[in-house]
Amino acid sequence: MVPPTSCPPEAPEPEGAPYVSAIIGGIAVRETKAPATSGRPLEESGLKVQVYRNLHKGLWSVRSKGRVITHRPLIILRNCTMRVQESERQRVIREGQRNVHAWIVGEPCWDTVGDDLVEIGYNPYFAPTFTSRPDFRPVTEARFVVFSQEGKAYAIL
């Protein structure tokens, strides 16, 4: 048997195939390939956006000027501020019905500077702010926040 002189062509990856897009602070961050969109990429637009977890879609919702502009499996923000609407938080506690009342504001970017990632989260029944995990210290600002496809957020404080 004579070995082939050239490699067979690679099969194209199907749309929606997961792949490792970055390793940040020892964590493999996965993203799903999405079809190209028209216009400038979100990361080059210079927008201030609000990001929160969309529980119905299992993705991160990205909102700008009061409107959801995209849903992403992965997004990275810089110069972040955590926001919680206290009156809506009290309503969630009172009625037991979840709604969007907490998000992180920042500028989309492609990568981070630093690798000391801390997992952060929000639970309206536990604290009125975002908190770090596992020690549950309040977090109100971060240099970077990585929103992973697994549904967790990691901050570089």
Per the CB < 8 A criterion, the answer to whether 141 and 69 are in contact is: no
Please enumerate in sequence order all residues whose Cβ is within 8 A of that of 4, keeping only pairs 6 or more positions apart, or say none: none
Helices (H), the chain: 86-95
**pTM of full prediction above 0.75:** no
Summary mean pLDDT of the chain: 78
pLDDT tens per residue across span 112-141 = 777 788 999 999 999 999 999 889 999 999
The C-alpha R_g of the chain, in whole angstroms, comes to 19
Q: Is the pLDDT of residue 21 over 70?
A: no
pLDDT tens per residue across span 44-87 = 667 899 999 998 888 999 998 889 988 989 999 999 999 999 99
Distance CA 111, CA 133 (A): 22
User: Which residue in 35, 44, 43 sits closest to 16, CA to CA?
Assistant: 35
Per the CB < 8 A criterion, the answer to whether 105 and 50 are in contact is: yes
